[in-house]
Every structure is written in C-alpha cells, then in structure tokens.
Amino acid sequence: MRDLALEPLAGLEVRDIRIGRNGGTLLNVPHLMLDGPGPTLILGPNGAGKSLLLRCLHGLIAPDVGQVLQDGMPLGARQKAQQAMVFQQPVLLRRSVAGNLDFVLRRQGLNRTARRARIETLLQEGGLTAKARQSARSLSGGEAQRLAILRALATGPEILFLDEPTSALDPAATQTIERMVLHASAQGVRIVMVTHDIGQARRLAADVVMMQGGRVVEHGPASEVLDTPRSQAAQLYLAGGLII
C-alpha cells in the first residue's frame, strides 16, 4: 500500500468551467488551483455554487464548458477512482454497518480475510465496532456520517470531497467528524469540504475558497481570507451579513 503521507497531495485544477441553466449562470470559474498542503474549505451562502463545484471536481456533473484536471490530467476513470465523496445526507446501503464497508472493499478485490481485518480497523477508527452487525439505517445522524466517511476512506482515496457533512449534527458529533477529517488529511488525503460554518473553516482550513453567485470571489490561505477578506462579498459573509 502506498504511503500517501509521504507523497505530495494530489492537485486539482479548474480550467474555465461554466454551467448554465435557463439562460442563467450557475457556475463560472475561470481558474482555480487546489494544490496547497491542507484541507480546502469552500464557503459561501446558499446557491453560491459550492456543492455544484464539488460535484464538478468529483466528476458527478460535467460542466457545459471547461475541464477539471487532477495532477495535470483530465478527469477520467483512473482519476475518479482516486477520489471519494461524502454527501450532506449520508447515503447508506440497506445492509449492516460492516456490510457497507464490505461493499467497497469487495469491489477492490480483497479476499475475505483481508476485508475482515480492514473492516475491523475502520470500525475501530470510527468508534463503530459495537455496531458492526447493526443495520446501517438504524444509526444516529452522527454515526451514519461517520460510517459514510469510513466507507469513503475504505476506497483508499487521494482526494476526499465532503459536502457539508456536519450541517445536521450537534457539536459533539461535529467534533468527531472534524477529527476524522483532520486525521485523513494528516494521512495524506487531500480534503475539499463545503461548509456554511465559518467557525468550522477556522478550525479545519488551510486554504479557503469563498463563493458567491456561482463564482469564486476569493481564494487564499485561511488566515488571509477569514481575517482580512479583500472582496466585499467575503467581508459581508464573514461579518454575518445577509447576502441575498
């Protein structure tokens, strides 16, 4: 197994992507380079295009024009296989907790013994060992999101996208998810995460992408964007103003 922590993080580059519907622009990003060392947090109000950008980066939505590059290569099957995504509402298979992890490990061609060992390790990491045989659908919101993250990590991704994974969680559950995200980042997984929570961006982000109206209005180190924003939209959003 490759030691991702010793290798440079996979880089993502957006080249002039645009998505429009019914004459309006949903996303218009001329250029964006995500090649920094730590978690990237995408901030912005509802309808800013954060989730749309994330889906474009992950190849779930193809832009009308432009392209996304991963380590200089256009997104293809190989690149997508190196990515994983966690959604706002965790989508868990109607199987046991362990069964959800087994599903992705089986797809990697691991034999039964290897799968069992890996599942045990993952469940320990997520604090879900006692719930291994329980139906995944019966988990609490926080547990379900933990399992979704574990399942994403079980694919061995180089890039992990998270779309507001803690938006419906209480502070304790949020803290656990944030620890998992930071742990994955420390292991060499590039983290690209959408959030509404400015506090969360301060806690996690190395760099912040600020979006509004389908455009990137600011991108830079977290300390700069969050403490001394240059754009008016970022200043207003960070000041807690209503952006309509």
Cα distances from 136 to residues 97, 112, 124, 140, in angstroms, run 5, 20, 16, 9
Asked if 137 touches other proteins (CB under 8 A), the answer is yes
DSSP string, 214-238: TEEEEEEEHHHHHHS--SHHHHHHH
Asked if 106 touches other proteins (CB under 8 A), the answer is no
Q: DSSP class of residue 35?
A: -
Burial class of 171 by CB neighbour count within 10 A (0 to 12, 13 to 18, 19+):
exposed
Region of 99-107, 118-126, 171-179, 199-207 interacting with other proteins (CB under 8 A): 99-107
Which residues pair with residue 68 across a beta bridge? 14
Position among 65, 91, 114, 117 found at the interface with other proteins (CB under 8 A):
91
Asked if 77 touches other proteins (CB under 8 A), the answer is yes
Asked if 107 touches other proteins (CB under 8 A), the answer is yes
Comparing CB distances to other proteins, the nearer of 1 and 77 is 77
Position among 48, 97, 101, 104 found at the interface with other proteins (CB under 8 A):
104
- Other C-beta atoms closer than 10 Å to the C-beta of 24 total 9
Asked if 85 touches other proteins (CB under 8 A), the answer is yes
Asked if 69 touches other proteins (CB under 8 A), the answer is no
Position among 5, 81, 117, 186 found at the interface with other proteins (CB under 8 A):
81
200-221 as b/e, with b when 16 or more CB fall inside 10 Å? bbebbbebbbbbbbbbbbbbbe
Binding site for other proteins (CB under 8 A): 55, 58, 60, 77, 80-81, 83-85, 87, 91, 93-95, 103-104, 107, 135, 137, 155
